[in-house]
Amino acid sequence: MDAAELPEREGMDYDVVVVGAGPAGLAAAIRLKQLDENLSVVVVEKGSEVGAHILSGAVIDPIGLDRLFPDWREDADAPLKTAVTEDRFYLLGPAGSLRLPNAVMPPLMNNHGNYVGSLGNVCRWLAGKAEALGVEIYPGFAAAELLFDGNGAVTGVATGDMGIGRDGEPGPNFARGMELRGKYTLFAEGARGSLSKQLIARYKLDEGREPPKFGLGIKELWQLDPARHKPGLVQHSFGWPLSSDTGGGSFLYHLEDGQAVVGFVVHLNYSNPYLSPFEEFQRFKTHPLIREQLEGGKRLSYGARAITEGGYQSVPRTVFPGGALIGCAAGFVNVPRIKGSHNAVLSGMLAAEEAAAALAQGRAQDELEGYETGWRAGEIGADLWKVRNVKPLWSKFGTYVGIALGGLDMWANTLLKWSPFGTLRHGKPDSDTLKPAKDSRKIAYPKPDGVVSFDRLSSVFLSNTNHEEDQPVHLKVKDMALQKRSEHDVYAGPSNRYCPAGVYEWVEKDGEEVFVINAQNCVHCKTCDIKDPNRNITWVTPEGGGGPNYPNM
Ligand SMILES: Cc1cc2nc3c(=O)[nH]c(=O)nc-3n(C[C@H](O)[C@H](O)[C@H](O)COP(=O)(O)OP(=O)(O)OC[C@H]3O[C@@H](n4cnc5c(N)ncnc54)[C@H](O)[C@@H]3O)c2cc1C
Ligand code: SF4
């Protein structure tokens, strides 16, 4: 049915509309109400509940929370209970490991004073705080469309229509989406936000910036054998099983209640189309250093999410008429620290302060210029500036030399406020880094042992992913012939390996290779939207409430 034939959408008007109930969106909503309780603020979230789609480490630097709720530590319901007690960094080889002395690590890598916990649970707690202040939160609704006024300024978002069948026609449960209109709209969609991507293109927010860069993080939550549990232990590694020309590394954090998280990040500028981040993660867990911590335990949950890695030089212009990008929608992750949640909170607060000041002056739908200059001049800019060369050095010189140079660069930036490298460029976007299959080495991954390593389908099962099956496929392939000609014939179908949820398959049907998309398994990590070698796949929001249901990731 044509959009013009559909019934009109109902709308609601607010001072500020926030898209996404992650740390950035919730901090923004809370700060707005702290500044002026009379402001009307709405948050729309595509997960079935707040936290359902949040996947992070997480070691959390409390700088943002300290600013938002200075007495949060006295709140018995605050979910961050475990302070970091020990920091360990390892270089892994196939059988052995080398522990790096903490003294060689630049001070910014020190995790003392930080907390280990579930960012999903932090968001659930923040949502309670926001609602107590009068913020309206609508989980289960995806912001699917941008709204503009006649001058081209953003006036809000529309949530997706519900009950559209796979054929694109309204079904018996059809319900039109809602227009949520705001004087300002803050986009807090996290890494590779689907509307944020449209805004960046429409307003050319990335002009003069380096391309965005990403990693894919895959994570599991474990209940450990109590004898092996050390609350507050934070362990990172790099090296094996990745070869030196592929960036990435692991994290293993011991939480409270006998639980630990183990995860692996693969930089998405890898070049071998046969590489599977999922299989690398499974293989990593078989290393003696990791196996000894996991054996005797039970895997509870699984998930995956892209993480922004472009840093300072890739952050697009963050403001445009009527709104701003906050948190990882802008890309505020400090890559060597693998931390972005603190900057998500700080950026949400800063954007809220600018929006509240503008509203107090009677302004609407203009650019919050103070936010753009403020993040660069303030603590977010300082945090990202010091580490701006770590990722490009790693990409250029490989793991061993690149990390050593990155370490020196962080020391120089810390001690001398100067870098011998200036500001390095990233070069290509991650979609352009694959080599043709004929020039690449096939990788034989070991079979899962069912003790510490597992297959993809049993893993996806633990993400509690669910989508209404009768809906249009939310992974849009622009040109199927190109997918066959290039993704399949030239690159040997890397989507089958980079997707951590087994969504994509090339299947032979009547003598032809057909691209099958098992969209109901999608965990919303956004990797296909980033890594497809022809940028031929676009991730759009499925029906609200669909996707993973992470318990405490
Ligand atoms: C594997 C991994 C490990 C990490 N480890 C750490 C760590 O240890 N410490 C740390 O500080 N940071 C870590 N990070 C980074 C951290 O998770 C992010 O910086 C942080 O989550 C960004 O917050 P955000 O609010 O910008 O976005 P997100 O946390 O991604 O939240 C975005 C929210 O918006 C919702 N949403 C998106 N699009 C829409 C839409 N169109 N409509 C409605 N809702 C929408 C999503 O469902 C989600 O709930 C890690 C990230 C990963 C992937
Ligand atoms: S289909 Fe794309 S977004 Fe969904 S899980 Fe696979 S790679 Fe991630």
For 295-418, where are the alpha helices, taking DSSP H only?
A: 341-360, 369-377, 379-385, 390-415
Is the pLDDT confidence value at 51 over 90? yes
Q: Output the CA 444–ligand 2 centroid distance in Å.
A: 23
The two counts, helices (H) then strands (E), for the chain are 14, 24
The answer to whether 261 and 221 have CB atoms below 8 angstroms apart is yes
Query: Which of 218, 537, 539, 550 maximizes ligand 2 atoms within 8 Å of its Cβ, making it the mutation to test the pocket?
Result: 539
Query: Which of 307, 337, 526 maximizes ligand 1 atoms within 8 Å of its Cβ, making it the mutation to test the pocket?
Result: 307
Is the pLDDT confidence value at 70 over 90? yes
3-class secondary structure, 395: helix
Q: pLDDT tens digit string along 118-146?
A: 999 999 999 999 999 999 999 999 999 99
The answer to whether 81 and 73 have CB atoms below 8 angstroms apart is no
Q: Output the CA 19–ligand 1 centroid distance in Å.
A: 12
Q: Output the CA 411–ligand 1 centroid distance in Å.
A: 28
**Average pLDDT over the chain, rounded to whole?**
96
Give the number of other Cβ atoms within 10 Å of residue 238's Cβ: 21
Is the pLDDT confidence value at 52 over 80? yes
Q: Which residue has the tokens 């300002």?
A: 184
Is the pLDDT confidence value at 342 over 80? yes
Q: pLDDT tens digit string along 215-268?
A: 999 999 999 999 999 999 999 999 999 999 999 999 999 999 999 999 999 999
What integer is the mean pLDDT of 180-209?
98
Query: Which of 219, 475, 517, 520 maximizes ligand 2 atoms within 8 Å of its Cβ, making it the mutation to test the pocket?
Result: 475
Q: How confident is the model at residue 6 (pLDDT cuts 50, 70, 90)?
A: confident
Reading the block at residue 196, the tokens are 């944020």
From the alpha carbon of 526, which atom of ligand 2 is closest?
Answer: 3
What integer is the mean pLDDT of 52-73?
97
pLDDT of 436: 98
The pocket around ligand 2, CB under 6 angstroms, is made up of 475, 499-501, 503, 522-528, 539
Question: 46 pairs with which residues across the strands?
Answer: none
The pocket around ligand 1, CB under 6 angstroms, is made up of 19-25, 44-47, 53-60, 119, 142-143, 188-190, 193-195, 217, 219, 263, 265, 305, 307, 327-329, 333, 338-342, 344, 541
pLDDT of 95: 85
Q: How far is CA 368 from CA 38, 149, 325, 388, in A?
A: 20, 17, 11, 25
Is the pLDDT confidence value at 5 over 90? no
Nearest CA to ligand 2 atom 3: 526
Is the pLDDT confidence value at 3 over 70? no
Is the pLDDT confidence value at 158 over 90? yes
Q: Output the CA 265–ligand 1 centroid distance in Å.
A: 14
Q: Cα separation of 304 and 535, whole Å?
A: 20
From the alpha carbon of 23, which atom of ligand 1 is closest?
Answer: 25
Q: What are phi and psi of 91, to 5 degrees?
A: -105, 120
What integer is the mean pLDDT of 487-492?
98
Give the number of other Cβ atoms within 10 Å of residue 209's Cβ: 17
Q: Output the CA 515–ligand 2 centroid distance in Å.
A: 14
Reading the block at residue 417, the tokens are 């406020």
Nearest CA to ligand 1 atom 7: 58
From the alpha carbon of 495, which atom of ligand 2 is closest?
Answer: 7
pLDDT of 1: 64
Angle CA 154–475–524, to nearest 5: 80
Query: Which of 526, 531, 532, 535 maximizes ligand 2 atoms within 8 Å of its Cβ, making it the mutation to test the pocket?
Result: 526
Q: How confident is the model at residue 2 (pLDDT cuts 50, 70, 90)?
A: low
Is the pLDDT confidence value at 4 over 80? no
What integer is the mean pLDDT of 353-371?
98
Report the percentage of the chain scoring pLDDT > 90. 96
From the alpha carbon of 194, which atom of ligand 1 is closest?
Answer: 41
Q: Output the CA 120–ligand 2 centroid distance in Å.
A: 20
What integer is the mean pLDDT of 413-440?
95
